[in-house]
Amino acid sequence: MATERERELLNQVLDSGQWGGFHEMVARFERAFAEFHHCTGGVSAANGTVTLEMALEAAGVGPGDEVIVPAISFISTASAVSRVGASPVFVDIEELSFNMDAARAAAAVTPRTKAILAVHFGGPLADMERLPALARDCGLALIEDAAHAHGSEWNGRRAGSFGLAGSFSFQNSKVMTAGEGGILIGNDSEFLDRAWSIANCGRRRDGGWFHHYTPGSNYRITAWQAAVLLAQLERLPEQIALRTRNAELLKSELADLAELRFQQAPPQVTAHSHYLLLGRVGGNRDEFHKALAARGVPCTPFYPHALYGNPMYAAGGCRVEPCPVAEACVRDAFWLPCRALMGDEQTTRQIAAAIRQALGR
Ligand SMILES: Cc1ncc(COP(=O)(O)O)c(C=O)c1O
């Protein structure tokens, strides 16, 4: 829900008389978001799909290269790799964290591997000890797809700051949203300059308006989006605290149900955005989903297939490592959206009761 702060910042943009992507509000938001996530700079863009494409292109990934991605994510994680002409290599996720299995990622590295694209699925960070170490040891770029992980931490360090770049989405369902939007953050100013150029018609930051050095595009956000996002960034910690409290309460209310296993973040995850409340359920997941929906609880019965099951990969253009955990999750996992964790204690207890009833308990 919008607050007075969103209105105040939106009015500042309105009154300023120019509303485009070069507005000071956009620069202000980029600085604030990057700093909050322990990075020196950020390049905002139209969505979290193009920020992934920008990251890969600015990292020099292209035809003939392979990029290791988890088998479970939204399509953009894989399609961004395909769109820059490289091949995604799908590796399995871990049983409890739902995140890329670092051992399986290590086993998938070949001389063609150029990057690891790790997703922080649902909010908790993927293994930010072993994956950065693997990237370092093998000379690979580590890019974090942090579309779900605004404000999430690993040992106190925030998402997006562990590798070459972190990519975030501000699409409608996300924990910070301007309806659409995205940002790429990092600590390598030359890399960020290349990304900026891609998003700004191939210009250079220090070059003229009609001087274009590479075939870039226009991915800029408007000052309206930046104003709304700046307001939301200010209250992100408070909202994470609320969702964390509610998630703990909900899980403790259901702790006696052996057939229900919620996502487990490793102890190094010191903050978790709680974009999704993920779980796996014994018995018939689809019946459970229907019963939950009938009780008015928003729930998604996971993805219908692993990423490599999408028609676009039926003809190849990718490599698929064995993914037994991903396949099992397609059959038995589910998620509740972050809005289910934004209510008060009573609402949270009611959701827990509905889950219990949906399981016939
Ligand atoms: C993991 C992940 N990466 C990337 C994206 C793409 O973000 P956007 O919808 O802003 O293009 C999404 C979107 O939902 C996502 O879930």
pLDDT digits (tens, 9 = 90+) for 304-335: 999 999 999 988 999 999 999 999 999 999 99
Task: Please report the domains of the chain, with CATH numbers, ordered by start residue.
Answer: 4-231 (3.40.640.10), 237-358 (3.90.1150.10)
Averaged pLDDT for residues 59-72: 98
- Residue 1 is predicted with a pLDDT of 75
Q: Is this model's pTM higher than 0.85 or not?
A: yes
Ligand 1 atom index nearest CA of 174: 14
Rounded to an integer, what distance in angstroms lies between the CA atom of residue 227 and that of residue 331?
A: 41
Closest protein CA for atom 7 of ligand 1: 48
- How sure is the predictor about 2, in pLDDT bands with cuts at 50, 70 and 90? confident
Q: Confirm if 116 and 132 have CB atoms less than 8 A apart.
A: no
Nearest to 303 by CA among 274, 276, 334: 334
- Residue 91 is predicted with a pLDDT of 98
Percentage of the residues of the chain whose pLDDT score is greater than 90:
98
Structure tokens at 32: 């604030």
Pocket (CB within 6 angstroms of ligand 1) = 47-49, 73-74, 76-77, 119, 145, 147-148, 169, 171, 182
Residue of 56, 169, 221, 278 to test ligand 1 pocket, by largest number of atoms within 8 Å of CB: 169
Structure tokens at 34: 């990057």
Strands (E), 203-353: 260-262, 276-281, 319-320, 333-337
pLDDT digits (tens, 9 = 90+) for 232-290: 999 999 999 999 999 999 999 999 999 999 999 999 999 999 999 999 999 999 999 99
Q: Confirm if 29 and 229 have CB atoms less than 8 A apart.
A: yes
User: What average pLDDT is seen over the chain?
Assistant: 97
Q: Confirm if 131 and 154 have CB atoms less than 8 A apart.
A: no
Averaged pLDDT for residues 77-88: 98
Closest protein CA for atom 8 of ligand 1: 48
Phi/psi at 200 (5° precision): -130, 50
Q: Are strands 87-91 and 66-70 parallel, antiparallel or unpaired?
A: parallel
pLDDT digits (tens, 9 = 90+) for 91-130: 999 999 999 999 999 999 999 999 999 999 999 999 999 9
Structure tokens at 126: 């993927």
Rounded to an integer, what distance in angstroms lies between the CA atom of residue 79 and that of residue 181?
A: 18
Q: How far is CA 99 from the centre of its chain?
A: 12
pLDDT digits (tens, 9 = 90+) for 130-179: 999 999 999 999 999 999 999 999 999 999 999 999 999 999 999 999 99
Averaged pLDDT for residues 190-218: 98
Q: How far, in Å, from the CA of 77 to the mean position of ligand 1?
A: 8
